[in-house]
Every structure is written in C-alpha cells, then in structure tokens.
Amino acid sequence: MRQLTALALAAALALPLAAPAMAEEARVPMINVTGTGTVEAAPDIATLSIGVTTQGETAVAALAANSAAMEAVMARLTAAGVEARDMQTSNLSVNPNWTGYDSGTPAISGYVAANLLTVTIRDLAGLGPVLDAAVQDGANTLNGLSFGVADPDPLLDEARKEAVADARARAELLAAAAGVKLGRILSISEGAPEGGPVPMYKAELAAAPVPVAAGAMDVAASVTIFYEIAE
C-alpha cells in the first residue's frame, strides 16, 4: 500500500512539470504549407500487354494452338531485340465457350485459350516494328501500352527540390500577407505518390508499320512543411 501511494504521489508531482512543456509546444504559432514540383521528361521505355486468343474443339486443342502461336510471337520478339528478361506471361486461361443460352439449354461449344504477355521495350525507336511483327505472327489481343522511364529517381529528386522551393515561396507569401516573419522549419513530410509518373502519349494502331508517338510524361512530388512564425 505504501509503495502504491508513493508511486501515485510521484506521478502527481511529475504531471505538472510535463504539462507546461506540452502546452508550450502546442502554443507555437505555425504556418503550414504544401508545395508541389513537376518535371517533364521524355519516356525511354514502353510496357506492352499483348496476347494470343485461340479456339479449339477441346481444351487440349485450344491450348496447343495457343502455345504454338505464342511461341511464334515470342520468337519474333526475340529476333526484334527483346530480351528474355523483358517478356513475362501475365495471364493464361482456358475456358469453355458456352452457347445456346437463347434456347434455354446452354451447352459447351468448344474452348477458348488466352495467353497474355507483358513486354518491356527499351528501344522506343523499334516499338512500331515490334508491334507489327507480333501481330503478324499471331498476336491478336492488345490490352494496353504505357510509357515510362527506366530510372525515375533523378527526376523525382528534381521534382522534390521544386516542391520544397514552392512550399517556401508559399510560406513567405503568407507570412508577408499576415505581417509576420517566417521562422525555422519545424517539420517536413513528403506526400504519398499518386500512382507514380503519369505518361501522356498517343498510340495509333494501323496497318504496318505501326505509328506510335511516345509524347512526354510528368514526374511529380509534393511536400508539406510546418514553419514557425518568428516573434
């Protein structure tokens, strides 16, 4: 009992000492700003989702036809300079083809096999010929084409610098408008990236050779800074 009483007394004595420090920190006048920075860059890689869809009377037949066509597509991509590490199977499926829903007695009428391949193109000058070659060898599904940069870190660093400078300019403007002086930085936090770099491009698929324009892309960053208002 005496030990509990002593602990309670110690806590009661310590609380008044800690409370003023916390209250003092909470009373610090601050300016809170968020700055953004954007760097425009030319893409140097492309990611292509291309595939083969085949039909057969049986699942085995559909899959065999699909495998043969995909092997031809991959061989042509390799001949066009695409390395093995830049080709990855992203989806493989075999499903029954149901018919007869209108009559009320659905039945399986063959099977459909689909194989999707994600391809990274590191030479954008050869993107059009690669697309053309893949389609000629049996690829009949194009699920997407996007552009990016192989090493975005230097671009992100530049965007971060611009974001900090933007935040500083905003804080100085607010301080001047309020008739106060900007003090030291209390904290800096970086905003979460919103889906990464956003490419802006135009891809026109037509007869060979396929014309593709990579355009430009924006790499953005944001920071939130708390400044102390100087006395």
The pLDDT value given to residue 192: 64
Among candidate residues 56, 208, 52, the one with its CA nearest the CA of residue 132: 208
Question: Does the structure show a pLDDT above 50 at 203?
Answer: no
CA-CA distance, 217 to 200, in Å (whole number)? 5
Bond before 209 cis per omega within 30 degrees: yes
Cβ-in-10-Å burial (0-12, 13-18, 19+) of 34 comes to: middle
Question: Does the structure show a pLDDT above 90 at 128?
Answer: no
User: Is the Cβ–Cβ distance between 178 and 165 less than 8 Å?
Assistant: no
The pLDDT value given to residue 224: 96
Kindly state the average pLDDT of the residues 75-100: 90
Of the pLDDT bands very low, low, confident and very high (cuts 50, 70, 90), residue 125 is confident
Kindly state the average pLDDT of the residues 64-91: 91
Written as one string, the DSSP assignment of 51-105 is EEEEEESSHHHHHHHHHHHHHHHHHHHHHTT--GGGEEEEEEEEEEEEE-TTTT-
Angle at the Cα of 98 (from 94 to 103), degrees rounded to 5? 175
119 in the Ramachandran plot: left (φ > 0), alpha (ψ -120 to 50) or beta? beta
Listed range (72-81, 134-143, 172-181, 193-202) with the worst mean pLDDT: 193-202
The pLDDT value given to residue 21: 42
Query: Distances in Å between the alpha carbon of 97 and those of 56, 60, 91, 101, 165?
Result: 10, 14, 18, 11, 59
Question: Does the structure show a pLDDT above 50 at 120?
Answer: yes
The pLDDT value given to residue 49: 92
CA-CA distance, 37 to 197, in Å (whole number)? 12
The single-letter DSSP state of residue 13 is H
User: Is the Cβ–Cβ distance between 195 and 135 less than 8 Å?
Assistant: no
The pLDDT value given to residue 204: 39
Partner residues linked to 112 by β-bridges: 55, 95
Of the pLDDT bands very low, low, confident and very high (cuts 50, 70, 90), residue 81 is confident
The single-letter DSSP state of residue 180 is -
CA-CA distance, 107 to 200, in Å (whole number)? 45
Question: Does the structure show a pLDDT above 50 at 10?
Answer: no
